[in-house]
Amino acid sequence: LHTGPLIAGVPASHMTHSLRYLHTAVSSLSEFPEYTDVGYVDDQQFVYYDSKIQQYTPRQRWITKNVAADYWDQNTQKLRGWESSGKVAIQTLMERTNQSGGMHTYQLVYGCELQDNVPISGFHQHGWDGRDFISFDKDRMVWVTPVSWGESTKNKWDKDRGLNKQKKGYLEQECIEWLKKYLQYGEKELKP
């Protein structure tokens, strides 16, 4: 909640809402899932998937009541693919950072925000072992990396204009559409 200009001596507030997904892939943790995916509307977890249960599951009643059964099946299939991609990413990044073993974490967080029902941001960021790895600059439609070992990924992804166009479209349109739907579905539960 952000405070805006004063109206009749009372601060006017701006309503901000967000949709975020956090994907985490880990190596060398047999007792924990190697891959998890968690979705949040504002700070409320509403969906969950992990490599042990292998099923996209609701965490709030409002999502269960408002989506069709195929929503769960389609997202389960998609996340099983992302689980495989997470394992590949760990191996690739271990090679690029000269690691041969040990525990490692690859994370992706992406989403969007609305303020007073107007889109204000979209983000898509990757991390490796707690450090920034690479992120998408949707305004310039390029990838940005603060680390030298991220340059080969940046160059590869920058060449794929279709991928960059898709990412921008997702962040500026599809993500916003889903956020608005979810806010409508959970209208009572998501009010501040």
Q: How many CB atoms lie within 10 A of CB 44?
A: 14
Cα(182)–Cα(163) distance, rounded to whole angstroms?
26
- Domains assigned to the chain: 19-185 (3.30.500.10)
Cα(114)–Cα(20) distance, rounded to whole angstroms?
12
pLDDT, position 72: 96
Going by their DSSP bridges, the two strands 57-58 and 105-115 should be labelled as: unpaired
120 φ, ψ (degrees, to nearest 5): -120, -20
pLDDT, position 13: 60
Task: Give the Cα-Cα-Cα angle 164, 169, 174 (nearest 5 degrees).
Answer: 140
Handedness of CA 146, 151, 155, 160 (dihedral sign): negative
Of 107, 152, 105, nearest in space to 127 by CA? 107
Cα(175)–Cα(112) distance, rounded to whole angstroms?
6
pLDDT, position 1: 36
DSSP state of 28: S
Reading the block at residue 61, the tokens are: 């009643």
pLDDT, position 168: 97
Q: Structure pTM?
A: 0.88
Cα(170)–Cα(11) distance, rounded to whole angstroms?
34
Cα(170)–Cα(192) distance, rounded to whole angstroms?
27
Residues with Cβ < 8 Å from 66, sequence gap 6 or more? 181, 185
pLDDT in tens, the chain (192 residues): 333 444 444 344 678 999 999 999 999 767 889 999 999 999 999 999 999 999 999 999 999 999 998 999 999 999 999 999 999 999 999 999 999 888 999 999 999 999 988 889 999 999 999 999 999 999 999 999 999 999 999 999 999 999 999 999 999 999 999 999 999 999 988 876
Map residue 88 onto helix, strand or coil: helix
